Amino acid sequence: MLKTKDIIDEKNKLLRAVSKEVKFPLTDKDKQTINDIIEYLTNSQIPELAEKYDLRPGMGMAAIQLGIPKRYFVVVHEYEEGKFQNYVLINPKIISNSEEKIYVEDGEGCLSINRETIGITPRYARVTMEAYDMDGNKIKVRGREELAVAFQHELDHLNGILFIDKIDKKNPFKDKDKMRAI
């Protein structure tokens, strides 16, 4: 079972690497990693299990956060109390996005950043992603609001970008009035 300690911290230079395209079929190791990530993210969002297994709550994780420089990530979205939708996106890219920008009012978080951060991270309110599923089938997924934020956050990881890079250092709340808080 994946543990919080298995997730690499922002101090690790590997997080700044641009991940490599995945070749199909997936290796058994990659399939296992994806399933481990799904289990971690699901359990981490269930308070009793998060406490029992000492998991930091998270809704998304990119392979690079486990030290695997491959272009895939998982988002486990709790769309209703206790009900989860799993998104496994391999070799993902944004094919369209809204003009409207949003930000997470309480600030974005990241399983690889173990400190308080201040400021807003501008994101598109809606995105459509094209990717491949675990069987190598091309898929299209749409995300809005927090799901759109999660997709963009994890895609950034695949390009060696952390959400804190998008916070304006001199003015952490820059353009806040031009975006909508979620």
Residue 49 sits in a domain of what CATH number?
A: 3.90.45.10
Phi, psi of 151 (to 5 degrees): -60, -45
- Measure the CA–CA gap between 34 and 73, rounded to whole angstroms: 8
Listed as ranges, residues in the chain with pLDDT below 50 are none
Instruction: Tell how far CA 147 is from the center of its chain.
Output: 9
> Is residue 39 within 8 Å of 48, Cβ to Cβ?
no
Number of domains in the chain: 1
Assigned domain for 2 exists: no
**pLDDT digits 0-9 by tens, 3-31:** 999 999 999 999 999 999 999 999 999 99
Domain encompassing residue 141: 23-181
Task: Using only the alpha carbons of the chain, give its radius of gyration.
Answer: 16
Q: Is residue 8 classed as helix, strand or coil in its secondary structure?
A: coil
Q: Is 154 a catalytic residue?
A: yes
